[in-house]
Structure 1
Amino acid sequence: MFQSLISKIKGVLQKLGLVKNIKSLSDTKSIPIDDQFYKNIDMWKALYQGYFSEWHDVQYQTINGRKKRRRATLNMPKVLSQEMATLIFNERCEINISDTDLSKHIESIFKQNKFISKFQDYLEFQFALGGMVIKPYVEDDKIKLSYVTADCFIPVGWDNQGIHEAVFPNEIRKGDKKYTHLEWHLWEGKEYVIKNELYVAEKTTSDLGKKVPLSTLFPDLEEEVRIKGFKRSGFVYFKPNLANHIDMQSPLGISIFSAALDTLKTLDIAYDSFQREFALGKRRIIIPASAVRMVVDENGNMQRYFDADDEVYQALGSGDMDDNKIQDNTVELRVEEHIAAINALLNLLSMQTGFSSGAFSFDGKSVKTATEVVSENSKTFRTKQSHENVIEAGLTELIDVIVQLAELYELFSGPDKDWEVTVAFDDSIADDKDAEINKQMKMVSAGLQSRKRAIMKIHGLTEEEAMILLKEIISDQLSIDPSLLDERAEQTLFGDGE
């Protein structure tokens, strides 16, 4: 889709004055994108969905000529993306905000938008396609969240802080018409500008078509909205914490399996061979060539003794066979050899995608995922933490965007003072809760960790929340009101508070 769409958008870019006299998008530094990069996104998407024509459409030779079939697949791109997304973000994760009122507002917004389940789905898409975007917007006086996959997002401007300008194309088909909606997010000085355009063309054409009024499909949508007071762009771009080895100048992310394409292809070849071993390996029959010739039956119809399209039969000339006898050339099934080869490839794939060796295994029926607790030094856990750092920063930005949008529409006001956002990810893959509590208690006893820091680690709380809980714990122990703990008493009870 995007290979043709990018070329169509070139003219729109020129019309808006963003890019003048360009021959291709990649020639302009202000548009950090290579046309070729979206071919990779299309390929990653196809592999994630389980069918990539260049890999899975194969031809083979039969007695009756060349035939086509679809190669079987283990669909490991889906498995890899789903497993990493599940390890990182699930219902056990907690997003904590130091300001109580803001925390309640954000919790309500996330609950209304079913954020936990939706974010996990799009986190999976992010690992598969290399990125995704969340755009908060207001509808019916409520803040809603719009999710955009990597193939529907084109960056326009960026700096070392990230992508801050972009266009979001959306194709809509109605009858014999094809509508393309372009939503631009741009900065003009200190003003944040959102522009909407709608184009229509025949469904069969590859042209962008002619511009038509927005009211054709979106009667309530404004062509241009100018916002003053925004401190950051109205969208947040998420991507895997992987260096872009395909285009080192691009701010776009890459798929978690982008460096393992050869292994993925070989895996599908091995799995396809494993399946066909049962279909073809049970019997191979050698027949004389005369047996596959057309003969006339008693009704005058042309018939064959054997199905010429069947791969089981191999025809040889009479000089190549003894007495023109039909010979059963059945071979032993190579089940164990196939399973061993597939498991060797799975271990290689694990290494290439950031998982520990043995993370995936094949038992002849399906791919199994290791469920045992892994150490904090394992490759899987280190990769998990690496991606978590980027995701936590993205979630903090998302809350910033929601706050500035809420203030713009006067839904609620942000805190007067700075607030802190922390995400308590589910680390049960590396350790159980009891082990973590025992570890923190030993560190506190040895003077290597403060009580406040231990509470923050165990409960996933912010510094302010940990201090409140620590006061409650001390007050319970001393049977006094937490409010009676003055500063001097805190210093005595908590040490330096750190």
Structure 2
Amino acid sequence: MFKNLIARIRQVMYRMGLIRGIEKVFDRKEIPIDENFYDLIDKWKALYSGYYSEFHDIEYKTISGTKKRRMATLNMPKVVSQELATLIFNEKCEINISDQTFEQNVKDVFKRNNFYKNFQHYLEYGFALGGTVIKGYADKTGVKLAYVTADCFIPLSWDNTGIREGVFVNDIKRQNKRYTHLEWHLWEGSEYVIRNELYESNGADLGVRVPLDTLFPDLEEEVKIQNLTRPLFVYIKPNTANNIDPQNPLGISIYANALDTLKSLDIAFDSFQREFRLGKKRIIVPEAAIKVAIDPLTGKGHRYFDANDEVYEAFNFDLDNDVIKDISVELRVEEHIDAINAHLNTLAMQIGFSAGTFTFDGQGVKTATEVVSENSKTFRTKQSHETVIEAAIQELVDVIGQVAELYGFFSRPAEYEVTVTFDDSVAQDKNADAQYWINLVNNRMAPRKLAIQRIFGLSEEEAAAMLEEIQKEQQTVTAQAIDLFGMTQSGGE
């Protein structure tokens, strides 16, 4: 009660201007990240949404004065982020855990949280904004997963294993007030501490701290957890080095180094659209031809040409009254399409796609759908990102296990292995891949257990169990099957 009273007094003093609120989250001394990096994230986010004022707001001069308009855009940041996310992760991706009971429990958590759909969406956001975060928590129904974009997460400490501490920022608007919820994830010795703070503001600053029950009546201000081995969140970023701030643990957008190309693309596309507007058909007619002629019988006026028709232009110069001249210009359609495709090839190179992945046909951007060669740049980029995404999924399984044990939903084994098999059907022929491993086994260049692992995407234990089952079946084959496959029966002639 006393704390609530103090908070109310602070609010009154703040409104009277007697005290100042915290202007920004970054004013907190605990935050070591340069806030200017978040200006870049805002830029990448604006481009992803399809409108970045510095690129798309244009001023131009006319005889009527200065005017403004918005540049047309191909919105390639959205296209490339979505294409890469779809190429890497979809519902055909298989996540297997060596312990069957734990695997089923984790898959139930994935199903309840609509993981496959949400993960693909937030993977796309991560490619666009430079990162995404998945946080594990619990409610009465079980383990829950919360997805957070890069602009709403601030790292506090990190090491070679990744980000260890961070704060989640959630802006909430209620009527004319703005609330900011800060959720701090910290290590204090061996204890994992989660602190919740709520700030109220009437403007753009962070404001003053108010009681949590203002918006969250069931939320605790501080929770201390023992015996955790890792943070209860996973930060996922593109497998691209941060060349903007190498000391920063945050990732960069896949198009962070292609901003000039994106701007050139939109300039070319905007010009392509305006080519049809500015190059529309024009016909010169004498000024007298559009004047009104009065019908002496009815008294109504008639025009030879419709004055509102944009095709006809009246000029007052020496032309015979019966002369009509077509001055339509030739549209530069092919030149624009060629220019846009040239920029698309440059963009593809900069973000890790093969040349020709994106093409413009005059109606829209098309993505190549043919099988991607394993030696292509697109496939190598896909595999590169899969490496960090597989590690992130393995960490997420560990987070789910920790939260489940903490709240008594289910236990996790002391040791287990997580394998992630991505859908390579776009780049691989499954039958050809299986035949490749069969040939290696037949030529005694690879063990059968390894071949089973690679073909079916199983863990080592699962592959060993499958191999044992196959061997048992072979021991019980009939004599007819032995003769059919040319096998020699043990102990036979």
Q: What TM-score comes out, normalization by structure 2 length?
A: 0.84
Q: Which residue of 2 aligns with 1:191?
A: 191
Q: Which residue of 1 aligns with 2:38?
A: 38
Alignment of 1:77-226 (within 5 A): 77-202=77-202, 205-226=203-224
Contact 1:282 1:332 in 2 (8 A): no
1:32-90 per-residue CA deviation (whole Å, 9 max, x = no partner) reads: x2221111111111111111111111123333222211111111111100000001100
Q: Which residue of 1 aligns with 2:7?
A: none
Alignment of 1:371-386 (within 5 A): 371-386=369-384
Aligned mate of 1:234, from 202, 225, 232: 232
CA distance in structure 2 between the partners assigned to 1:69 and 1:55 by the alignment: 12
CA distance in structure 2 between the partners assigned to 1:259 and 1:120 by the alignment: 23
Note the residue ranges of structure 1 that are not aligned, 5 or more in a row. 19-24, 26-30, 292-304, 481-492, 494-498
Q: Which residue of 2 aligns with 1:8?
A: 24
Q: Tell me which amino acid in the other structure corresponds to 2:25.
A: I
1:260-295 per-residue CA deviation (whole Å, 9 max, x = no partner) reads: 111111111111111111111123578999x9xxxx
Q: Which residue of 1 aligns with 2:246?
A: 248
CA distance in structure 2 between the partners assigned to 1:242 and 1:220 by the alignment: 40
How far apart are residue 329 of structure 1 and its match? 3.3
CA distance in structure 1 between the partners assigned to 2:82 and 2:264 by the alignment: 21
CA distance in structure 2 between the partners assigned to 1:261 and 1:286 by the alignment: 43
Q: Which residue of 2 aligns with 1:301?
A: none
CA distance in structure 1 between the partners assigned to 2:179 and 2:314 by the alignment: 56
How far apart are residue 341 of structure 1 and its match? 1.1
Contact 2:212 2:219 in 1 (8 A): yes
Q: Tell me which amino acid in the other structure corresponds to 1:108.
A: D
Q: What TM-score comes out, normalization by structure 1 length?
A: 0.83
Q: Which residue of 2 aligns with 1:448?
A: 445
Note the residue ranges of structure 2 that are not aligned, 5 or more in a row. 1-20, 290-305, 478-489
Q: Which residue of 2 aligns with 1:349?
A: 347
How far apart are residue 420 of structure 1 and its match? 0.7
SS in 1 for 2:194: strand
How far apart are residue 410 of structure 1 and its match? 1.5
Aligned mate of 1:427, from 424, 429, 433: 424
Alignment of 1:263-412 (within 5 A): 263-283=261-281, 328-412=326-410
Q: Which residue of 1 aligns with 2:461?
A: 464
Q: Tell me which amino acid in the other structure corresponds to 2:49.
A: Q
Q: Tell me which amino acid in the other structure corresponds to 1:64.
A: S
Q: Which residue of 1 aligns with 2:71?
A: 71
Q: Tell me which amino acid in the other structure corresponds to 1:269.
A: I
Larger Rg belongs to: 2
CA distance in structure 2 between the partners assigned to 1:265 and 1:213 by the alignment: 46
1:356-393 per-residue CA deviation (whole Å, 9 max, x = no partner) reads: 11111111111111111121111000000000000010
* Cα distance change on mapping 1:265 and 1:107 into 2, 3 Å: same
How far apart are residue 233 of structure 1 and its match? 0.8
How far apart are residue 207 of structure 1 and its match? 2.1
Q: Once superposed, what is the RMSD of the aligned Cα atoms? A: 2.8
Q: Tell me which amino acid in the other structure corresponds to 2:162.
A: G
CA distance in structure 1 between the partners assigned to 2:77 and 2:133 by the alignment: 20
Q: Tell me which amino acid in the other structure corresponds to 2:128.
A: A
SS in 2 for 1:193: strand
Contact 1:63 1:315 in 2 (8 A): no
Contact 2:183 2:197 in 1 (8 A): yes
